[in-house]
Amino acid sequence: MTISMDFLDKLGIRGDMDAVHTGTKSSGSRKHGVFESYSPVDGKLIGKIYKASKSDYDAVVKTSQQAFVEWRKIPAPQRGEIVRQIGNKLREYKEPLGKLVSYEMGKSLQEGLGEVQEMIDIADFAVGLARQLYGLTMHSERPSHRMYEQWHPLGVVGIISAFNFPVAVWSWNSLIAMVCGDVSIWKPSEKTPLSAVACFHIIKDVLAANKVPEGTLAMIVGDVAEVGEPMLADDRVPLVSATGSCRMGKRVAEVVGKRLGRSLLELGGNNAIILTENANLQLAAPGVVFGAVGTCGQRCTTTRRLIVHSSIYDKVKEMLLKAFGGLRIGSPLDEKNHVGPLIDKDAVKMMQAALMAAKDQGGKVIFGGEILDGFESGCYVRPAIVEAKNSMAVVQEETFAPILYLLKYDGSVEDAIKVQNDVKQGLSSSIFTDSLRQAEAFLAASGSDCGIANVNIGTSGAEIGGAFGGEKETGGGRESGSDSWKAYMRRQTNTINYSTHLPLAQGIKFDI
Ligand code: UN1
């Protein structure tokens, strides 16, 4: 299939691009080398972007700090109006941006478009939110006193995002931060920098037309040493919101914690679906297969473990072998295909290593796992199914690849929940059952220990309206919908005395 590259022109992705974007302007020192972005789809070079230096980073923080002084004074509903216009621009550019995400990251076009839709949805959500940054009022214990709380913006928010959702996770963070009155500096993954640049090209006119201060939304592409680490250690950045591996998150928590800054962490998952003896398998099949192979197994919500009751195990195994056998693997821009490539050859190697480890540890690869020939990029693999035990070291880890571990359980739903919870991560989880008792047991305090727990739908593909994130090694952060906005603001408690006396709280007497 020949792919039309029109979308690159529409997004202004051409030439060697600047590392720093502050809204309407781009800059950067151009002396620190370049990142080359190769497509995992066909192995071709899509474009180059200069790497920022530490001094570029310092300059962008200064610009954003100045922007904050102005931006926090704009009434929140007016900030929301600008986010509304950004949402409309994203609607206009949904197709080219979806294509670029698909081409640069390798996810299917449907999922690339879905990712841009998440951006549009969060923009719509943020517009309403701009009028709902509610605080509580309290009754004071003292006469003629009033107490209430209000939410103020924090300042410069650092955003670190991963290659697998190269644009949506930024929007969850930056658009919510924007209506909250914060400014943000985004460090996108160096594996998908062009999708990030494209976002800035798309929103540029809106920022210019509304005279949004330069640096309110900023983006900087650079190495960990020049940009990432300085951001973590930077007192000028009160909040760092980071999405990625548990290893990276531990580093963020350590460095940001040391200066008593805030971090919002959304890290690895080891997500499971439980199929009880009461599961509707017709319903479960697409949920499990999409969960396992969507984005080629590279979502943090990907279904990695399937915990199946022994009475239906053979039936489920047969069903999966048939479904995986029918998967069409190939260019993600060709909508006929279900599965595209992994992000790069390192990811392919990691998948192979995990499959070797699974075999060594007593697992049995019953389907797939091989690297597919005939693709220039060398990044296409056949999704694998492995019969395994939950206690195997490799099953306990998150391998960012399409490997579905098939685990058998006997006994009650409580036994299955125990297996589901018996990992270090706690992002997403699901149960398929037609039994109300089993479903409620799964959702109870003694049920799933994850941040997301679903009934009769899969582990991936969360809507933006809920709070997104998980427990344990997933990091505990919540972003996107619900009241996640509170993470981007500081709460202030105000007590106002309108009496002519100064009574002290707790009835303390202090006469002078
Ligand atoms: C991620 O993989 O970091 O729930 C985000 C989902 C998507 C977001 C995933 N809405 O699968």
pLDDT one-digit tens code per residue, 410-421: 999 999 999 999
Percentage of residues of the chain with pLDDT beyond 70: 100
244 alpha carbon – ligand 1 mean position (Å): 11
What's the Cα-to-Cα distance from 194 to each of 16, 105, 204, rounded to whole Å?
A: 11, 10, 15
What share of the chain in percent tops pLDDT 90? 98
Cβ neighbours, 10 Å, residue 134: 11
pLDDT at 435: 98
Residues in the chain: 512
Among 366, 371, 289, smallest CA distance to 324 is for: 289
- pLDDT band for 4, please (50, 70, 90 cuts): confident
Which pLDDT score is estimated for 3? Answer: 74
- Beta-strand pair 16-17/271-275: unpaired
Of 241, 298, 299, 484, the one to substitute when testing ligand 1's pocket (max ligand atoms within 8 A of C-beta) is 299
Whether residue 2 is predicted with pLDDT greater than 90 in this model: the reply is: no
Tell me the HSE value of 70 on the side-chain side, using a 13 A CA sphere: 10
Over residues 461-474, the mean pLDDT reads 98
Report the run of H or E that residue 238 belongs to, with start and end.
none
CB atoms within 10 A of CB 404: 25
Say how many Å lie between the CA of residue 302 and the centre of ligand 1.
8
Q: Is 243 in the pocket of ligand 1 (CB under 6 A)?
A: yes
460 alpha carbon – ligand 1 mean position (Å)? 6
Distance CA 328, CA 394 (A): 27
For residue 1, the model assigns a pLDDT of 62
As annotated, the active-site residues are: 266, 300
Does 460 contact ligand 1 (Cβ within 6 A)? yes
Spatial contact of 195 and 90, defined as CB atoms under 8 Å apart: no
3-state secondary structure of 167: coil
* Residue type, position 434, single letter: D
Ligand 1 pocket check for 461: Cβ under 6 Å: yes
Distance from Cα 450 to the centre of ligand 1, integer Å: 15
Given a cut of 90, whether residue 270 has pLDDT beyond it is yes
Q: Which helix (H) or strand (E) holds 154?
A: none
Q: Which of 460, 464, 479 to mutate to test the pocket of ligand 1 (most atoms within 8 A of CB)?
A: 460
Mean pLDDT, residues 43-66 taken together:
97
What is the Cα–Cα distance from 225 to 234, expressed in whole angstroms? Answer: 13
Confidence of residue 213 (pLDDT cuts 50, 70, 90): very high
The finding on whether 299 has its CB within 6 A of some atom of ligand 1 is yes
pLDDT tens profile 106-125? 999 999 999 999 999 999 99
DSSP run (H or E) holding 115: helix 109-129
CB of 367 within 6 A of ligand 1: the answer is no
